């Protein structure tokens, strides 16, 4: 099973809302990632979790709050977002943060109104 | 810092023909990994092929093969017998061996491939 799942597929939220994105993998991977992807652009790394600990935060605004409750699950909590935060949010996982390929989920298309 | 350049924003190929997508990168490291990812309109990024820098042999995966020129820092992807399902955005990506990079993938800007029936 090389599947990374993400829910929801689509999310529309107002600037005052609080919502969460969910990512799950059951491949036994110990590294998980959040990426943000704008249209026709490559993914941009936001956060890296290694062994359930945050190891990289790429200067992401505090209105994005990641959480890794266990080795299979990764959440991204959203609060007070701006319209420019509208994008495709991709989750990925890999065996570790070494030279392993990353497996991506299908993404959540987020629209902030 | 490493950079990845894909100089072809868009490419087009006739079904059953062969197409080559270009990728160059800049690094001072001697060991690293290179990847080609495919992202169809359905959005999911799919790993197409990977190449370890220490291996001289070019990687192949069925109809997909790479031409890895380490000295020239070039990593092109060849798709043989193109199929309609190959239409997608293709991203070249670099991954450092440096532990401090924490597995960060450095992506090129992508090449949009169209396949004509």
Report pLDDT for A96. Answer: 83
Report pLDDT for B116. Answer: 96
What is the pairing mode between strands A87-94 and A103-104?
Answer: antiparallel
Task: Give B-chain residues touching A43 at CB under 8 angstroms.
Answer: 45, 91, 105, 107
Q: Is the pLDDT of residue A7 over 60?
A: yes
Q: B82 phi and psi, to 5 degrees?
A: -55, 140
Identify the residue whose tokens are 């709050």.
A65
Q: Please give, rounded to a whole number of angstroms, the shortest distance from the CA of A47 to a CA of chain B.
A: 10
What is the block-wise mean pLDDT of chain B (117 residues), using blocks of 10 residues? 93 97 94 93 89 90 95 97 96 83 84 96
Report pLDDT for A22. Answer: 98
- Decide if A25 touches B, using CB distance below 8 A: no
Is the separation of the CB atoms in B45 and A101 below 8 Å? Answer: no
Residues 6 or more apart whose CB falls under 8 angstroms from that of B100 comprise none
Query: Mean pLDDT, to the nearest integer, of A53-77?
Result: 91
Report pLDDT for B2. Answer: 85
- Which of B3, B31, B37, B102 should we substitute to test contact with A (largest number of A Cβ atoms within 10 Å)? B102
Confidence of residue A59 (pLDDT cuts 50, 70, 90): confident
Query: Mean pLDDT, to the nearest integer, of A76-104?
Result: 91
Q: Which has the higher per-residue pLDDT, B46 or A99?
A: B46
CA terminus-to-terminus distance, chain A: 36
Kindly state the percentage of chain A with pLDDT values over 90. 78
- Decide if A60 touches B, using CB distance below 8 A: no
CB contact under 8 A, B108 and A56: no
Task: Return left, alpha or beta for A57; rule: phi > 0 is left, psi -120 to 50 is alpha, else beta.
Answer: beta
Task: Give B-chain residues touching A5 at CB under 8 angstroms.
Answer: none
- Decide if A92 touches B, using CB distance below 8 A: yes
Confidence of residue A2 (pLDDT cuts 50, 70, 90): low
Which residue of chain B is at minimal alpha-carbon distance from A109? B43
Other Cβ atoms less than 10 A from the Cβ of B79: the count is 24
- Name the H helices within B4-45: none
Q: Please give, rounded to a whole number of angstroms, the shortest distance from the CA of B35 to a CA of chain A.
A: 8
At A22-41, the pLDDT tens digits run 999 999 999 999 999 999 89
Task: Give B-chain residues touching A88 at CB under 8 angstroms.
Answer: 43
Report pLDDT for B99. Answer: 63
Report pLDDT for B49. Answer: 95
Q: Please give, rounded to a whole number of angstroms, the shortest distance from the CA of A17 to a CA of chain B.
A: 25
Task: Give B-chain residues touching A97 at CB under 8 angstroms.
Answer: 99, 101-103
């Amino acid at each position: 099973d090389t599947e990374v799942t993400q829910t929801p597929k689509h999310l529309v939220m107002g600037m005052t809302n609080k919502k969460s994105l969910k990512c799950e993998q059951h491949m036994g991977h110990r590294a998980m990632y959040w990426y943000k992807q704008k249209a026709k652009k490559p993914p941009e790394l936001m956060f890296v979790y290694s062994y359930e600990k945050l190891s990289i935060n790429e200067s992401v605004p505090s209105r994005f709050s990641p959480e890794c409750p266990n080795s299979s699950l990764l959440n991204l909590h959203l609060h007070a977002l701006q319209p420019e935060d509208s994008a495709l949010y991709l989750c990925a996982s890999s065996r570790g943060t070494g030279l392993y390929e990353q497996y991506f989920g299908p993404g959540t298309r987020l629209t902030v109104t | 810092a490493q950079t990845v350049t894909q100089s072809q924003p868009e490419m087009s190929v006739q079904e059953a023909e062969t197409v080559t997508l270009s990728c160059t990168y800049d690094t001072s490291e001697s060991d690293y990994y290179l990847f080609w990812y495919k992202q169809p309109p359905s959005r999911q990024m799919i790993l197409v092929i990977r190449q370890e820098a220490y291996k001289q042999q070019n990687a192949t995966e069925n109809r997909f093969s790479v031409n890895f020129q380490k000295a020239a820092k070039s990593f092109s992807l060849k798709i043989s017998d193109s199929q309609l399902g190959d239409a997608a955005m293709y991203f070249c990506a670099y991954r450092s061996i440096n532990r401090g990079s924490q597995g960060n993938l450095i992506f090129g800007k992508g090449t949009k491939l169209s396949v004509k029936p």
